[in-house]
Chain A
Amino acid sequence: MSVKRDSLSVGLAVGAAGTAFGAVAVADHFSVLQACVLSLVLFSGASQFSFVAVMSAGGSGLSAIITATFLGSRNGLYGVRMASLLKLKGWRKAVAAQITIDESTGVAIAQNNETDQRIAFWYTGFGVYVFWNLFTFLGAIGAKAIGDTSAWGLDVASPAIFCAVLAPRLKEKKMLFTCILAFVWALSITQVVPAGVPIITTVAIAAFVGWK
């Protein structure tokens, strides 16, 4: 059945990026166990990378938590959408919530009928979960052996992944404008405010542009 196959191949491709997360986390002075806990419990790539990035740039734990949670808020929106498709209760709902991310939602809503949508949600979600965690562990172990992470391009792994997550969201002019505004704002104030603040304060830009 091609829905299952497609879902699992998305799971493998995205999950492999867990290698970069594990390696980046360890390079940024997190332990292998902390990297694995983030992948197992937090399980949302962009939030994980942002959390590690803000903490390692010298930001406070609080600003790292706020940034990661704001970024994770889109999973809540996906949850609203997926709940009406899956109609689950109890532990099944608790499990479905954990695998509600960009990919499981994206592959699900791309299907033509509800049966395929449900299959795509579960297979993509579990596929990404299993591979993401496996590769996080391998990346974290591997990073210990690497040494100079810049020599392996690891310092651009997470911004490149962010660019890839951003790209499909910039179809409208207004989105692109907001994106550039946030970019310029963050770089303009970075030298005069604590780490993490340039990122969190861009939420005000989103509120301002989206208001009317």
Chain B
Amino acid sequence: MSTQWIAVITTSLLCYITKYIGHSIPESWLAHPRVQRITALIPIVLLSSLVAMQAFTIKTKFVLDHRLAGIAVAIVALKLKAPFPVVVIGAMATSAIVYRLKI
């Protein structure tokens, strides 16, 4: 079995187990304010750094290109409280247009 398959199956099972554990532990275990604060921040730091990596790097090198335009449109759309599909399709269309114009 390839490394890729092992990673796919391991991640899938770990994520399912995480959900199942959540349904199985008493609510009081996570009641500590420090645990609550940190767990609320974890998705924020991960998503933020993922945006940084996916939109502004190519193979770990910092790069500014057509993707910046797409992300800018997504942020403006979110500021204007646009619905989810508008945010995503708007970003994709903008990025694609800028990319094609440069070629």
CB pair B95 A93 closer than 8 Å? no
Instruction: With both chains docked as a complex, state the minimum distance between the C-beta of B57 and any C-beta of chain A, in angstroms.
Output: 5
- In the complex, the answer to whether A205 meets B45 with C-beta atoms within 8 Å is yes
Q: Does A130 contact B (CB under 8 A)?
A: no
**Given that A157-B92, A202-B48 are contacting pairs, would A38 and B7 also be in contact in the complex, using a CB cutoff of 8 Å?**
no
- Check B16 against A41 for contact (C-beta < 8 Å): yes
Bits for A56-83, please: 1 = Cβ < 8 Å to B, else 0.
0110010011011111111111111111
16 contacts between A and B (CB under 8 A): A53-B53, A65-B14, A72-B18, A78-B22, A79-B22, A150-B95, A159-B67, A163-B71, A166-B51, A169-B43, A183-B51, A186-B49, A205-B45, A206-B38, A210-B41, A211-B37
User: Is the beta-carbon distance between B88 and A157 smaller than 8 angstroms?
Assistant: yes
From B70, which residue of chain A is reached at the shortest CB distance? A156
- Where chain B touches its partner, the secondary structure class is helix
Also in contact, A159 and B54, with CB within 8 A (given A50-B46, A80-B22, A206-B44): yes
**How far is B59's CA from A94's CA once the two chains are assembled, in angstroms?**
39
Report Cα–Cα, A85/B15, bound state, in Å: 21
Q: How far is the CA of A203 from the CA of B46 in the complex (A)?
A: 7
Q: How far is the CA of A178 from the CA of B39 in the complex (A)?
A: 13
Is B40 touching A210 in the complex (CB atoms < 8 A)? yes
User: Using Cβ atoms and an 8 Å threshold, which residues of chain B touch A61?
Assistant: 3-4, 6-7, 10
Question: CA separation between A167 and B53, bound complex, in Å?
Answer: 18
Residues of A that sit less than 8 Å from B by CB: 13-14, 16-17, 20, 30, 34, 37-38, 41-44, 46-47, 49-51, 53, 55, 57-58, 61, 64-65, 67-84, 88, 93-94, 96-98, 100, 150-167, 169-170, 175, 178-187, 190-191, 193-195, 198-199, 202-203, 205-207, 209-211
Q: Which residue of A lies closest to B88 (CB)?
A: A160
Alpha-carbon distance between A155 and B46 when the two chains are bound, in angstroms:
18
Identify the closest chain B residue to A86 (Cβ).
B23
Chain A residues closer than 8 Å to B34, beta-carbon distance: 210-211
A residues within 8 A CB of B18?
69, 72-73, 75-76, 79
**Complex contacts, A185 vs chain B, CB 8 Å:** 49
Q: Is the CB of B96 within 8 A of A162?
A: no
Is there contact, CB below 8 Å, between A100 and B85? no
Chain B residues with CB under 8 A of A202: 45-46, 48-49
A153 CA to B100 CA in the complex, in Å? 10
